[in-house]
Amino acid sequence: MIVPLANLSVWEIGTTIGFVVVTIAVVIVAIILAQASRIADQAQFADDSVEEIREQSMSLLHGVDSIMDSGVRILHAARSLRKVAVGK
């Protein structure tokens, strides 16, 4: 049943406009909450990834120290061999 606008009272028009405004606000808030949840999930994933990268970097740090020690030993051995070969 379609009621002509002229037959509606001020209260009915106000209630209808209020319902439309509240409905639009609810939809906007729902979209904002959905996006916030998505951002929170991505932030948690990024945080976990950063922690994993930090752990891997720390393990590399110890490996680099070992490689540096080996390099210094090789250098000293090469210098010793050169002195023996040259006779100095």
For the segment 9-40, what is each residue's pLDDT rounded down to a tens digit?
Answer: 888 889 999 999 999 999 999 999 999 999 99
Residue 75 lies in a domain: yes
In a domain, residue 61? The reply is: yes
In a domain, residue 32? The reply is: yes
Distance separating alpha carbons of residues 71 and 63, to the nearest angstrom: 12
Is residue 68 in some structural domain?
yes
Does 57 score more than 60 pLDDT?
Answer: yes
User: Residues near 8 by Cβ (< 8 Å), separated by ≥ 6?
Assistant: 16
Write out the residue range of the structural domain in which residue 72 sits: 11-86
**Assigned domain for 80 exists:** yes
pLDDT band at 5 (very low <50, low <70, confident <90, very high): low
Q: How far apart are CA 48 and CA 56, in angstroms?
A: 13
Q: How many domains does the chain have?
A: 1
Q: Greatest CA span in the chain, whole angstroms?
A: 117
Q: Is residue 82 part of a domain?
A: yes
Residue 17 maps to a domain: yes
Mean pLDDT of the chain: 86
CA distance 74 to 77: 5
Q: What is the pLDDT of residue 40?
A: 95
Alpha helices in 1-88 (DSSP H): 10-86
Assessment of whether the complete model's pTM goes beyond 0.75: no
